Amino acid sequence: MDISLEEFHQDFMQRIYSDADSRGLLRSQAFYENVCEELIESGDLTNNYTVAEYIKNNIQVCGFDYDEEREVLTLLGHKFYQDDELQTILLSEVSTSFRNLRLYLSNCNNSNFYKQLEETTPAYSMSFQITNYLATNTIKKIRLVLLTDARTTKSLTHLESEQLFDIEVEFRVVDINYLYQLFKSQNSGGDFETDIDLPCLEIINNDKYQSYLAVIKGTDLVNIYNRFGQKLFEQNVRTFLQFKGAVNKGLRNTIQYNPEMFFAYNNGITATATEVEIGQDGHIKKIKNLQIVNGGQTTSAIYAACKNSKLDVNNVSVQMKLSLVRNPDDINDFVSKVSEYANTQNKVSSSDFYSNSPLHKEFKAYSKRVLAPQIGGSQLQTHWFYERVRGEYLNEQAYLTIAKRRQFLLQFPKNQLFDKTFLAKVEVAWMQKPDVVSKGAQDSAKVFKKEIDDILEKNSLAITEAYFKNAVSKIILFRFIEKLISQATWYNQAYRSQAVAYTVALLSYRVKQTGKAFNFNSIWEKQSPSKVLEKILNLIAEEIYSYITTPKDGYGNPSQWCKREKCWEEIKLLPIDFEISTELLIDDDTKLFMAKDEKKTKLLDNGIEIQSFVVTQDTNLWKELIKYFRIDNNISQMQMDILNKYATGSLSFPSEKQAKIIYDLYNKALSEGFIYNS
């Protein structure tokens, strides 16, 4: 059965309640932050999104986002009902919310408005920046977005754009149904359609996928990007590098001086879609869920040339390879393969393919296998659920009976759920890069990608059970600090996320200064920091909070100051007097011994798992593999002999080494495009 909207709403609300309780947030704050994270994932918001609350005289603004490339300002408000029953938001409530957002913008158009606000608050920073954007005419479009846990009325099908300060203003309601559609599309950004007129040729049409070669004009590409922005690049492994590298300078020069040669000089765009509509003239008339998986730089370069440099792109033509994958379950693997093999215009390191990192597979396996310690007299054994794909937690419950779903929730409680985005933020904070964490999830993910890539390059067995437990312990620590700050008397309802990141980083820094390693087992065993550690964290957090909320010369905005490496360098020198007790530390020698022991255990587990995999597969798989390697014979005779013996039955049960050889051949074939139809 499929998850219904009502079931999704119930699960969504429970997740909000759990998140609020575990982090010490108001439920409205947890709702707002969770929805904005969803919108960043789907490309509806950029990485510049900022939480900033302004509530006064019926005006309620919760944050803003500024798309620098498209010069689009998004102002956010919310209507949170926090009702277990699914509510419907009335048109009058929508109109009132949008009227108040417009009123706030009108206030920002007055250069004296932000000066009346407390300088250290996020509202001051938000108002100052918006006032500056308006004064410098750097806003091409304004989006007013209302977030709600209700659903809109059926009569609310279209909201007409308006003009404010001679700027187009769009209105949009992100309701529970939109979030439901995001969930159903499994992070594809939701269904969206692109009307177009593309001459094309159908090249491939089989049971796996359908592919077209098309030509798209520069003006059409600009219009599509102008409308959808980052939603087009959600599955792309690369972000735009600006006109700094030789490749991008070449793109710009071609656009400016030889636009008619762009088609010949440029590699073009590789894209995917879920559906296309072909007209009677054989042209593509509509594309559903267009995703540019290779060619993000080309698209952004053409857009920047048109919008920023005012160059004419009407004579620019771009070749596009557009593929439709038949099975939606295959789309992620298809996209990752295309990205890996097609991204050659600028070097893309293996760390850019973070979504394919073995870390995800390992963490998913450990999250299902490793039991959390029973605490507080509880007789239940629970797991920490690793959500590799957004919505996976709910999706795993989709086909369960009521009794089975209840059992699932007992085994995997919502407060023990974490995803790769949050994991990256926590790990980067412990890596003593709180300035990076303060810049946002994307920056944290990039740093963590490189870290994981380096670790696995040195040792493919590095992601052990102990690594998983340590990572979960850091997550427990991070959430504990969030709650500690939220409930502190000195907390002023702003800059909590920055204070948390810097508190974690400073603890990590002071631990490193002792010459020992932190004993994460002390957190794992209790599923919470000890009272000794709690006192240390409270002391660090209060001192750091006081520091970052005190205006610095030239950095009146604490959130911007926290993004600077200089801020971290100064915080490391703060005279905060505390000692880290021995119970929180372990010797490096002990840590090294534990790591070696873990790797030995893992190696044995992997050997057994590989044997199990090989002997449980259909015999025909290995016979097909022999045919494959006979056609493209690029393996040794020894490898072929072992594979042939096992496939023909003369080798009844392979040893660990033999199974490893067979397994490696299987993976080699898969990476080369081998497909086995059982």
Write the pLDDT tens digit of every residue in 607-648: 766 777 787 777 888 888 888 888 766 788 888 888 888 888
Contact 297, 251 (CB under 8 A): yes
Tally Cβ neighbours within 10 Å of residue 99. 12
pLDDT reading at 186 higher than 60: no
Q: How confident is the model at residue 346 (pLDDT cuts 50, 70, 90)?
A: very low
pLDDT at 261: 87
Write the pLDDT tens digit of every residue in 522-531: 999 999 999 9
Q: How confident is the model at residue 189 (pLDDT cuts 50, 70, 90)?
A: very low
> How many Cα atoms are found within 13 Å in the side-chain-facing hemisphere of 155?
6
Average pLDDT of the residues in 73-92: 92
Q: How confident is the model at residue 532 (pLDDT cuts 50, 70, 90)?
A: very high
Strands 162-164 and 385-387: unpaired
Read off the DSSP letter of residue 662: H
CA distances from 93 to 88, 89, 97, 128 (A): 10, 7, 6, 28
Three-state SS letters, 191-230: CCEEEEEECEEEEEECCCEEEEEEEEEHHHHHHHHHHHHH
pLDDT at 351: 34
Q: Indicate the average pLDDT of the chain.
A: 83
pLDDT reading at 316 higher than 80: yes
pLDDT reading at 483 higher than 70: yes
pLDDT at 2: 63
Burial of residue 348 (CB within 10 Å: 0-12, 13-18, 19+) is middle
pLDDT reading at 18 higher than 60: yes
Average pLDDT of the residues in 507-523: 94
> How many Cα atoms are found within 13 Å in the side-chain-facing hemisphere of 146?
28
Structure tokens at 1: 């059965």
Residue type at position 189 = G
**DSSP β-bridge partners for residue 325:** 209
Strands 141-148 and 72-79: parallel
Read off the DSSP letter of residue 636: -
DSSP annotation string for 247-305: HHHHHHHHHHH-GGGHHHHS--EEEEESEEEE-TTS-EEEEES-EEEE-HHHHHHHHHH
Using left for φ > 0, alpha for ψ between -120 and 50, and beta otherwise, residue 254 falls in: alpha
Three-state SS letters, 80-137: CCCCCCCCEECHHHHHHHHHHHHHHHHHHCCCCCHHHCCCCCHHHHHHHHHHHHHHCC
Write the pLDDT tens digit of every residue in 440-480: 887 888 899 888 888 877 777 788 888 999 999 999 999 99
Contact 650, 669 (CB under 8 A): no
pLDDT at 24: 82
Write the pLDDT tens digit of every residue in 234-268: 555 444 434 444 456 678 788 888 888 888 888 88
**Listed residue (139, 158, 30) closest to 91, CA to CA:** 158
Average pLDDT of the residues in 400-424: 87
Angstrom distance (rounded) from CA 614 to CA 604: 16
What number of H helices and E strands is found in the chain? 26, 20
Q: Structure pTM?
A: 0.66
pLDDT reading at 56 higher than 50: yes
CA distances from 186 to 31, 335, 387, 400 (A): 20, 14, 12, 19
With tokens 């890539």, the residue in question is: 453
Write the pLDDT tens digit of every residue in 578-614: 999 888 998 765 555 555 556 566 655 667 667 777 8
Residue type at position 232 = L
Sign of CA dihedral 641, 647, 653, 659: positive
Q: How confident is the model at residue 534 (pLDDT cuts 50, 70, 90)?
A: very high
Angstrom distance (rounded) from CA 182 to CA 180: 5
Angstrom distance (rounded) from CA 322 to CA 179: 27
With tokens 């081998």, the residue in question is: 674
Residue type at position 174 = V
Angstrom distance (rounded) from CA 462 to CA 507: 24
Return the ∠ at Cα 78 (arms to 73 and 84), rounded to 5°.
150
Using left for φ > 0, alpha for ψ between -120 and 50, and beta otherwise, residue 138 falls in: alpha
pLDDT reading at 499 higher than 60: yes
Q: What percent of the chain has pLDDT over 70?
A: 86
Contact 638, 629 (CB under 8 A): no
Q: Which residues contact 84 (CB under 8 A, 6 or more apart)?
A: 10, 13
Crossing angle (nearest 10°) for helices 465-486 and 358-369: 80
Higher local confidence (pLDDT), 340 or 639: 639
Most confident of 169-173, 392-396, 440-444: 169-173
